[in-house]
Amino acid sequence: MRILQVTVYADLKFGGPPQKIHALSRGLAGQGHAVRVVTFRADRPTVDPYQGDESVDVCYLPWVGKQLWQVPTEYRRLREAVIWADVVHCYGLYDLLCPAAAFCARQSGRPYLLEPLGMYVPRAGNRRAKELYHRCFTSWMARGAAKLVATSSSEAEELQGLACSENIVVRPNGLDLATYCDLPGGTRFRERFRIESDERIVLYVGRISPIKNLGTLIRAFRQLALRPARLVLLGPMLEPQYARELRALIAELQLADRVLLTGPLFGEEKLAALAAADLFVLPSLYESYGNAAAEAVAAGVPVLLTEGCGIAPLIHGHAGLAVAPTSDALAEGMHSLLADTERRAALTLARSDVLRELSWKGPLEQMERVYRETVQSYPSRVAQRLPA
């Protein structure tokens, strides 16, 4: 099959979504399919069109606009990519690339799937703008989509307003577990950020964003009567106002020497942070899945996460603990997994069972099957050329 992936989230600074899309693309290419990715390069509006590795072509479209409200300026390249494909997979909402790709797919008789990436229910940011987007684009894209893809049962329930149950596919994310088999030592991370060897590290990895509930995590850490300990918030600060609010809160609570914002780390540096961590915390108000928590499990780090994370049922009581998104609950959870050795052991006893569920093997096979069934069942049409 010829598979086209369409996303504005190709830059790794956007966290879990680009990692998932890269992994799916490479995995499908490894199964013998031809895979292309159409995207924008966030930092440059114009680049050479085709780049990528040996297995996946990446087409960076030129654009105009701001942040995620980017409009492709070479519609012809997008149209050519869609016509090339047997099936098109659009990722995310609140951008203008996916609606353009969906329009091309409809006009050229190509089936497309829509994966909202947990964005359908507005939870942060400008809710009115997001509701307007739904009226203008989301409902229209959903009506024409062959399938909607959710990463958890909770997200699938939210998508019921967009499509009937049989048109919603629940496909969890996965991990390349081999990446976490031989972690670098945690000493390099401690040395880089001047964290003493006897300090316990409570680690968060992800975007520094209001939906991640980091202010509540900082307050919970303040309540935690456990020293010496350091809270490390690792991730890109794409919303400067929120980052300033967090820094002000840290100063107000007199935690400047105990809470560290590192910015984003990738590759070996990120793995070194996981190797150094004593506890991983994902305090989000909502996550359609929660890739960062899965990575922590794979790295052997106990996980504390909130009940709004799609992966929470898999981890709770098996590789960690799921709690309410409040400071009291998070503080109590951190104490249980850091100070209570017996409870920590009991809550992480079935980590190996969780690992079996985290491999990309099952999700890749499922995605391949969904694509094939979609192509086979889609009405045969003669591809129409769009007007120039």
Mean pLDDT in residue range 142-151: 95
Helix (H, G, I), strand (E, B) or coil at 140: helix
Fold that domain 2-174+360-377 belongs to in CATH: Rossmann fold (3.40.50)
* DSSP secondary structure of 292-333: HHHHHHHTT--EEEETTBTTHHHHBTTTEEEE-SSHHHHHHH
pLDDT in tens, 103-143: 999 999 999 999 999 899 887 778 888 899 999 999 999 99
Predicted local confidence at residue 6, as pLDDT: 96
Predicted local confidence at residue 385, as pLDDT: 34
| Beta-sheet strand order (sheet of 87-91) | 50-52, 56-60, 34-39, 2-6, 87-91, 112-115, 147-150, 168-170
Report whether pLDDT(13) > 80: no
Report whether pLDDT(53) > 90: no
Residue 68 token pair: 């995620």
What is the C-alpha separation between 345 and 169, in angstroms, rounded? 35
pLDDT in tens, 227-266: 899 999 999 988 899 999 999 999 999 999 999 999 999 8
Claim: this prediction has a pTM higher than 0.75:
yes
Of 55-59, 66-70, 175-179, 298-302, the poorest mean pLDDT is in 66-70
Write out the residue limits of the CATH 3.40.50.2000 domain(s) in the chain.
2-174+360-377, 177-358
Mean pLDDT in residue range 73-77: 86
CATH architecture of 177-358: 3-Layer(aba) Sandwich (3.40)
Mean pLDDT in residue range 339-356: 93
Report whether pLDDT(205) > 50: yes
Of residues 112 and 73, which shows the higher confidence score? 112
Task: Give the list of residues 6+ apart from residue 142 with CB closer than 8 angstroms, or none.
Answer: 114, 148, 162, 163
Report whether pLDDT(383) > 50: no
Predicted local confidence at residue 12, as pLDDT: 61
By percentage, how much of the chain surpasses pLDDT 70? 92
Cα angle 224, 310, 278 (rounded to 5 degrees) comes to 35
